[in-house]
A and B are shown apart, each in its own frame.
Chain A
Amino acid sequence: DTGVSQNPRHKITKRGQNVTFRCDPISEHNRLYWYRQTLGQGPEFLTYFQNEAQLEKSRLLSDRFSAERPKGSFSTLEIQRTEQGDSAMYLCASSSQPTIAKNIQYFGAGTRLSVL
């Protein structure tokens, strides 16, 4: 257990439905990252937060995706009007302020989304 909690672990939905995932990072970590991983591929960066501020979004994050971290603690990732191509593992990671010599991220176990 890394201390990063993600819920739910599995989500099955029908195409066109909205889904929301939650990530609870390690409490003292001010950085929170979201990644997506499809079968056989490494995780791909989606977005990250510094406290409550969303500082970077990948081009992978279409306008159907929105992420929030309202109080700088937990974060949610919402996908609207899901498509079959959204089926993937969604991973959350947290870290303390990275320095030149140390940027270690702690990952949750992920939420596996299946869009039927």
Chain B
Amino acid sequence: DAKTTQPPSMDCAEGRAANLPCNHSTISGNEYVYWYRQIHSQGPQYIIHGLKNNETNEMASLIITEDRKSSTLILPHATLRDTAVYYCIVSHRDNQGGKLIFGQGTELSVKP
């Protein structure tokens, strides 16, 4: 599985968009980008995933660059409840059993 690089921490003002970057320069053509987040004292929660097209759901948007070497998770209107650690994971479609390989993630602090 390709390795990901994320900034260790970011701040965002409440109500503003939070843009969380992820570098995955070694991604291969059949690997997907997944985003999970983990709120304090809870298990990780799936947010969104994509292969090469931009994706949007009720939680967030995922922008993947054309060369697929990086992506950005966008929380359009961050709230205090979005304070969490955000993990960017690259998952090969033939990953043995679908295990998730977590890095250290980005700790997002949403401030009033």
Contact = CB atoms under 8 A, between A and B. Distances in A.
Interface size classification for chain A: 20 to 34
Interface stretch (A40-48, A65-73, A77-85): A40-48
B43 A95 contact: no
A101 B43 CA distance: 23
A107 B45 contact: yes
A43 B45 CA distance: 12
A91 B101 CA distance: 14
A106 B97 contact: no
Given A100-B93, A101-B51, A103-B95, A43 B42 contact: no
Given A91-B43, A109-B41, A109-B42, A56 B97 contact: yes
B76 to A, nearest CB: 21
Interface of A: 2, 4, 31, 33, 35, 40-45, 48, 50, 55-56, 91, 93, 95, 98, 100-110
Interface size bucket, B side? 20 to 34
Given A41-B104, A42-B105, A101-B32, A56 B99 contact: yes
A91 B97 contact: no
B65 to A, nearest CB: 20
Nearest to A103: B98
Contacts of A33: 97-100
A105 B34 CA distance: 11
Contacts of B19: none
A95 B102 contact: no
Nearest to B46: A104
A98 B23 CA distance: 25
